[in-house]
Structures are given as structure tokens and as C-alpha cells.
Amino acid sequence: MGCPHVCSGATLQCSFGAAPATLNVLPVNRTLIGGMPAANIMDYIPLVNITTFGMCQSLANPTVASATAAAMGALTPMPCIPATATPWIPGVPTLLLGNMPALDANCTLMCTWAGVIKVVYPGQVQMLIP
């Protein structure tokens, strides 16, 4: 069985985020999975596609580094504003949505502040029928 494809409403988690986030997929590709817009690797735009993960704990994030320095070195998480600048990898090269590879549950997304964003729940479930 293949890996589930990702659609709008999927749950994401960042390695430095304090809370899960939701993937928002705009219906521009006109492809639905279970009634929800299907995602491709280009659905990585901060605050449009990738919502906030609550608080960021990465010292690579300048706001966290500043707050931590002001607190005499005690890690001080700051509000997360995703800094995703490149598409999801690797994508599904055999399935194109809007001329770009589709997104499946094995794909990851890198945040500029060193976080790795993974799909926790793809937004749809594949059912096996015996």
C-alpha cells in the first residue's frame, strides 16, 4: 500500500514548535481528496499554507536567541512565525498536481530556523477493503 496523499486540513509538527499546525491548501489545482483540496510540493507558503506552531524553541531563530540572551541563557521560546522558503521534499514525482509533484505523508519541509516540519496526519485515511 502506498503512502497517503496530503490534503487541506492535514496536521503538521515542527521539530522546534510547541504545538501542531494545520496545512491550508488553496483549491487552485482543482483536485480533491475526500472532498478536500489535494496538496503539492508548492504548498509551503508561511501563514498561507503553513500555520503557526505556537511557540518556537530554536536558537537559530533570532527572536528566540535574543530573548534567551536577555534571560541570561535560559531558553525562552518566542511566538512561531514559520520561515519556510523552499518547497516540500521529495514529493511524489509520478503524480503531478498543477504541474508539480503531489505531497504525501513522507514529505518534509525545512524551516529557515533549523526546524524540520513533518506530516503527522495527512488529512485523509486510506481504507483497506478485504
Cis peptide before 90 (omega within 30 of 0): yes
Q: How many residues does the chain have?
A: 130
Distance in angstroms (rounded) separating the CA atoms of residues 94 and 12: 23
pLDDT in tens, 24-71: 999 888 888 888 999 999 999 999 999 999 999 999 999 999 999 999
Asked if 53 contacts 77 with a C-beta cutoff of 8 angstroms, the reply is: no
Cell of 104: 504525501
Judge whether residue 19 has pLDDT over 60: yes
Tell me the whole-structure pTM to 2 decimals. Answer: 0.91
Judge whether residue 129 has pLDDT over 80: no
- Per-residue pLDDT, 32: 87
DSSP label of 18: S
Write the DSSP string, 66-78.
HHHHHTTT----E
CB atoms near residue 100 (< 10 Å): 18
Q: What is the largest CA-CA distance in the chain?
A: 60
Where are the chain's structural domains?
A: 14-118
